[in-house]
Amino acid sequence: MNLERSSIGIVGRPALVLVDMINGFTSSACPLGTDCPDVVAANAVLLKAFRERGLPVVFTTVVYHNDQQAKVFRSRIPALNCLTPDSNWVQIDPALAPIENERIFEKQWASSFFGTELHEHLSQLGVSSLVVTGLTTSGCVRATVIDGLQHDYAVVVAEEAVGDRNNDAHAANLFDMHAKYADVMKIDDVLRQLP
């Protein structure tokens, strides 16, 4: 038996949250990454649309400054140890390079909200809904979506602008997020709803 759910979509002032669209995740040359040019291109479309409308845009990256940060997470996934401040892997993919006034939030765990000032920043900008994109669907995107909901944002996931190394995990997590936490929408529908 399916639970009844209501679509909310984009309400009020939306922000685009590009989760970990960094070189280490968009390139298979990094042990954490996978080549995903279609996901990068979809993010570029949304980035252009938000910029043209003067809507807020934020990026996240994963950076470890010392051995004490996220010790258990890094013990589980040792490849994370390549994400150091001096590494090219932590830089935003050049196809999506931030411009002036677009904040990059460094994080150490999965959620873009956990241990960061993202919520405070969005609140100061009067944001009421989020369009979440990025990598990976089953990991940091999902964690950010759930925390976004738990901070009372209406959350939209732009379907073509998220990706995962595992297609089954990608599909299952899109299904689950749409059922419980967010509206998973095609990019064309997201663009139609932007103010």
Q: Tokens for 153?
A: 């944002």
Q: Is the Cβ–Cβ distance between 96 and 122 less than 8 Å?
A: no
The number of angstroms, rounded, from the C-alpha of 39 to the middle of its chain's C-alpha atoms is 12
Q: At what angle do helices 167-180 and 142-150 cross, to 10 degrees?
A: 10
Q: Which of 30, 36, 82, 140 is catalytic?
A: 140
Give the residue ranges of DSSP H helices in 30-70: 37-52
Q: Is 30 a residue of the active site?
A: no
d(CA 53, CA 105): 22
Q: Which two tokens stand for residue 126?
A: 């009067």
The catalytic site residues sit at 140
